[in-house]
Amino acid sequence: MADLRFCAHFPFSDEARAWVREQKLQLDVTALTDAESRLRKAFTSGELKMEAGALDSENRLQVMSYAASRLILAAWGNRWAARRMAVAESKRAHEYLKSSEDKRAAYADKLAKSLGLAFKSADASEALGDEKSESAYLIAFWDYLRFAPKDVHYKLVNGKLEKGWVRISDHQRLRIIEEAVRKRLEEPIPPLKEPDAEVKRIITRLETLLPRENLAVTKIEMKDFPPCMKKLIDDLRGSINVPHLGRVALAVYLIKAGLSDEQIAQVFSSAPDYNAETTMYQIKYARGKGYSVPSCATMDTWGICIATCRCGSPVYYREAKHGKAAAASLGLRTPHMGVSEKSTQEDA
């Protein structure tokens, strides 16, 4: 007998999927309508709220709406949509895991297991300092490396590694589970060849919510960008989730390159968890603070240095690559770094 509440909270879990298969239910109009609103919410706000599900019938509907949303994504084949959903669904799962109800039911253990993640409970008395009373867990370092957020606070060198196990707090454990969920949902969905007419209609309606193509507008001269910045932009364009510090580095770089807040926001608009308001706030904040572009060494510690250009700082890349004359000519440029994307392709 499936635990319907677990299935509703974590509709991507093996248990929920098995339940859907067992029911042999056709995805009806109700499920498709619910799914459309689920996708719509995630596309516009970047998040999905938890829903109270005391009744089995409510839980059932939630599982079905998730299953229908995956069917729509399978028929659609849009990368941005799939990644945006992966972020929203994994954040929602995290919210559930934090709830006292899920804690009582030890759903984190169950979900972790179904994701192939093994946590051991560590002797809490050994946990010292910043995690005083929080219960501590151990995770195998390879799982930690694969699923911990790409963030300076989760760098292994700052962590507690012993005999192959990394000691983490309960909070970190839930965050790692969230990442594992996101990664699983980002895996390619097998395409659905012949969707029915209703699914096609929903896709047409949802297409209006996709971020607009903005390459022609921003006019970034990509060939002058160092590989690390190019990679960050490419990742954003491909709707790959870029870690927070990567976004900071890119935003500061683009500010220094003379782009306007709006132009920078457009670069970020294809991020899977894009939220127009937050993004604009953060760009303005970074501009106000007058941050300088992180050096190569800092980029390296943040885990976003990807090349061996070793130019000292991304701002010196152009100089290092093309010589001093190039640096001087950059100084003469108009605020928007001038040339359009098109000229980059011609150069290539």
Alpha carbon distance 341, 293 (integer Å)? 23
Of 38 and 167, which CB lies nearer to another protein in the complex structure? 167
35 vs 185, which CB is nearer to another protein?
185
Looking at the Cβ atoms of 138 and 174, the one nearer to another protein is 138
Distance between CA atoms of 225 and 257, rounded to whole angstroms?
10
What residues pair up with 169 in beta bridges, in sequence order? 136
Residue type, 266: Q
DSSP state of 49: -
Q: Is 162 in the site for another protein (CB under 8 A)?
A: yes
Smallest gap from Cβ 192 to another protein, in A, equals 25
Residue 213: CB minimum distance to another protein, A: 26
Cβ neighbours, 10 Å, residue 1: 4
Does residue number 204 form part of the binding site for another protein (CB under 8 A)? no
With respect to another protein, which residue has the nearer C-beta, 275 or 298? 298
Site membership for another protein, residue 244 (CB under 8 A): no
Residue 111: what residue type?
A: L
Gap between the Cα atoms of 167 and 141, Å rounded: 9
How many residues does this entry show for the chain?
Answer: 348
Q: Is residue 165 part of the contact set for another protein (CB under 8 A)?
A: yes
- Residue 141 interacts with another protein (CB under 8 A): yes or no: yes
Among 29, 54, 126, 212, contact with another protein (rule: CB under 8 A): 126
Q: Is 146 in the site for another protein (CB under 8 A)?
A: yes
* Range in contact with another protein (rule: CB under 8 A) among 90-98, 164-172, 219-227, 247-255: 164-172
Q: Does 124 bind another protein (CB under 8 A)?
A: no
Min dist. Cβ of residue 164 to another protein (A)? 2
The Cα–Cα gap between 206 and 200 comes to 10
Contact between 156 and another protein by CB under 8 A: the answer reads yes
Residue 214 binds another protein (CB under 8 A): no
**Helix boundaries (H) for the chain:** 4-9, 14-23, 29-45, 56-76, 79-98, 100-104, 107-114, 141-147, 170-186, 197-207, 215-218, 227-237, 244-256, 261-268, 276-289, 296-301, 317-322, 324-331, 341-347
Out of 155, 201, 284, 342, name the contact with another protein by CB under 8 A. Answer: 155
Give the residues lining the site for another protein (CB under 8 A).
Answer: 126, 128-129, 140-143, 145-146, 150, 155-165, 167, 300-301, 303
